[in-house]
Homo-oligomer: A and B are copies of this chain.
């Protein structure tokens, strides 16, 4: 069985990606970053997901030299939900510059050291993100950097299987793959229950509602 590194955050997207990697016949090794997120909840859910997928996991502490965005550190306010038009207009303040570039670089290093053949990332262009390093163009160029910068880079594939999907499509895929959505966490706040109003909760709620599916997330926590 071919090995793969899966970047796992504890959200719907990376959870679906993890189960997709399994479905594609890979033996996934999950990589969870502890980079000073607002709360530990995300990491706890990522661990639960990895266990459910029977994927070994590593939690990696990583501090970005700057702490200037609202997802890292507690000082700045979390932006509340914005319209799709607003989202498309500008990069949100939750942006950590080049976060996926950093995560993928470390994953590629790890992949080479364990002779893994693939790195999976659940990033996508649609939905609330809008980060430049979530786009297909970026992954294509990044793959070239890996080929140029590592010994076995030409044998390493970067999979971003959700890149062109929207939240609804991701949820549909996740349900098909039997992703345990009750073990995911989307909310930007770290309360006992998801807040329901931040960008992340809002779009999740909306997508499940439009699909006519019950989201165990808002029910059971």
A62 to B64, CA, bound (A): 10
Give the residue of B99, B110, B145, B151 whose beta carbon is less than 8 angstroms from that of A66.
B110
Cβ contact within 8 Å between A106 and B138: no
- Chain B residues contacting A100 (CB-CB under 8 Å) are 149
Main SS of the interface on chain A?
Answer: helix
Number of copies: 2
Give the residue of B64, B110, B146 whose beta carbon is less than 8 angstroms from that of A106.
B64
Interface size of A by CB at 8 A reads 46
- Segment among A18-26, A89-97, A187-195 that sits at the interface with chain B: A89-97
A146 to B109, CA, bound (A): 18
Give the residue of B65, B69, B153 whose beta carbon is less than 8 angstroms from that of A60.
B65
- Chain B residues contacting A105 (CB-CB under 8 Å) are 98, 101-102, 105
Give the residue of B62, B69, B98, B148 whose beta carbon is less than 8 angstroms from that of A150.
B98
Question: Which 4 A-B residue pairs are closest in the complex by CB-CB distance?
Answer: A66-B113, A97-B112, A133-B149, A98-B109
